[in-house]
C-alpha cells in the first residue's frame, strides 16, 4: 500500500511539476550546441577549494581515463580529486590510478581492501576531502571544462548556500544528447524525482552533518543525500548551465532503470524514509 502511494506521488510531480526535455529527439540539441556561445573566464579568486569525490570499481580503462582527464582539464585549478577504489579485481584500474596520483599531487587515491559498494566507497573518498565543498563524479562520466569554474563563481555569489546543482546531458559514442534543463524546484518536488542528480556540489560541513552516504540506499544514494541535506533548510542554488555529461553505457544507470535491478527498491526506500522524516516533523 505504501509503495503504491509513493509511486503515485512520484507520478504526480513528474506529470505536473516537470517539463521533461530529455525525451525529445537529438537533432535540435546538436544544432543548439553548434550555435552555443563559448564559455569565458572572468577574473576571479580561486581561494575556494573543491574536492571531487570519485568512487571507482572495475571501470573500463577508456572510460576511467576520460573521466579523470575531464578533471585534469578544468579551467578552475583549485581542486583535489579524491578517488576511492572499491577493491577492483581488474589490474588496469590500479595502474591508471597510480599513474595519475604520481602525475599530479591533487589526485589522491585510497585502495580499499574489500568491496563495500558505492556508499562505503564514496564515504572513503569523502574521508580524504579537505576542500570547503565536495563535487560528486561517477567513474565513467565527464565534467564540462568550465564545470568547477562555474560552480566556484556561484559559490562566490551565494556563499550561504549548502548545495549547488547544474543542468546535464548524456554522452553517447562521443556525442552529447538528451539535455536535462532543470528548474528551481523545491524539496517536495525532489521527493517525486531526483532532479538534482548531476552535477551536485555540497558544502563539506553539510555532508558531515548528515553523516555522509547512507549504507542501504545503494542505487539511489545521491538522491538520499540530496534529500537529507535539503532538510537542513539552508539555501540551494541552481546553476542553469549544462556542466556534466552522463555517459550512457552498459556500466551506467543512465541507460535506464533496468540497467540495475536494485535501483527501484533503493528509490522506494529513499522516498519512504524521506516521507517518514517529514511526516514526523509535520512539514508535508
- CA separation (Å) from 129 to 5, 147, 172, 224, 280? 39, 19, 31, 20, 33
Q: What is the residue-level pLDDT of the chain in tens, covering all 284 positions?
A: 455 555 555 544 444 444 445 445 567 777 777 666 667 777 778 899 999 999 999 999 999 999 999 999 999 999 999 999 999 999 999 999 999 999 999 999 999 999 999 999 999 999 999 999 999 999 999 999 999 999 999 999 999 999 999 999 999 988 888 899 987 778 888 888 899 999 999 999 999 999 999 999 999 999 999 999 999 999 999 999 999 999 997 655 544 444 466 788 888 898 888 888 888 776 55
Tell the CATH topology of 2-32+47-281.
Answer: Spore Coat Polysaccharide Biosynthesis Protein SpsA; Chain A (3.90.550)
Cβ contact 178:169 at 8 Å: yes
pLDDT per residue as tens digits for the range 125-146: 999 999 999 999 999 999 999 9
Domain spans in the chain, listed from the N-terminal domain onward: 2-32+47-281
The residue among 55, 179, 237, 191 whose CA lies nearest residue 129 is: 55
pLDDT per residue as tens digits for the range 225-270: 999 999 999 999 999 999 999 999 765 554 444 446 678 888 889 8
- CA separation (Å) from 248 to 20, 178, 216, 275? 18, 11, 25, 31
Cβ contact 138:64 at 8 Å: no
3-state secondary structure of 205: helix
Q: pTM score, two decimals?
A: 0.85
Amino acid at each position: 500500500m505504501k509503495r503504491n502511494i509513493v509511486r503515485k506521488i512520484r507520478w504526480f510531480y513528474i506529470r505536473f511539476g516537470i517539463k521533461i526535455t530529455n525525451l525529445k529527439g537529438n537533432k535540435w540539441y546538436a544544432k543548439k550546441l553548434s550555435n552555443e556561445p563559448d564559455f569565458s573566464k572572468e577574473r576571479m579568486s580561486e581561494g575556494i577549494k573543491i574536492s571531487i569525490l570519485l568512487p571507482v570499481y572495475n571501470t573500463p580503462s577508456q572510460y576511467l581515463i576520460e573521466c579523470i582527464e575531464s578533471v585534469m582539464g578544468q579551467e578552475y585549478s583549485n581542486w583535489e580529486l579524491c578517488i576511492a577504489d572499491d577493491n577492483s579485481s581488474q589490474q588496469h584500474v590500479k595502474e591508471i590510478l597510480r599513474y595519475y596520483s604520481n602525475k599530479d599531487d591533487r589526485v589522491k587515491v585510497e585502495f580499499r581492501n574489500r568491496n563495500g559498494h558505492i556508499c562505503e566507497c564514496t564515504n572513503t573518498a569523502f574521508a580524504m576531502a579537505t576542500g570547503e565543498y565536495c563535487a560528486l563524479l561517477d567513474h565513467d562520466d565527464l565534467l564540462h571544462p568550465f564545470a568547477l569554474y562555474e560552480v566556484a563563481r556561484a559559490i562566490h555569489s551565494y556563499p550561504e548556500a549548502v548545495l549547488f546543482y547544474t543542468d546535464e546531458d548524456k554522452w553517447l559514442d562521443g556525442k552529447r544528447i538528451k539535455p536535462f534543463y532543470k528548474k528551481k524546484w523545491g524539496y517536495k518536488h525532489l521527493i517525486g524525482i531526483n532532479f538534482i542528480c548531476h552535477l551536485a556540489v555540497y558544502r563539506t560541513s553539510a555532508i558531515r552533518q548528515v553523516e555522509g552516504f547512507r549504507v542501504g540506499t545503494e542505487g539511489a544514494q545521491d538522491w538520499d543525500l540530496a534529500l537529507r541535506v535539503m532538510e537542513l533548510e539552508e539555501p540551494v542554488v541552481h546553476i542553469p548551465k549544462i556542466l556534466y555529461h552522463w555517459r550512457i553505457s552498459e556500466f551506467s544507470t543512465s541507460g535506464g532503470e533496468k540497467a540495475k535491478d536494485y535501483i527501484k527498491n533503493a528509490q522506494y526506500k529513499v522516498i519512504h524514509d524521506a516521507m517518514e522524516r517529514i511526516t514526523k516533523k509535520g512539514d508535508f
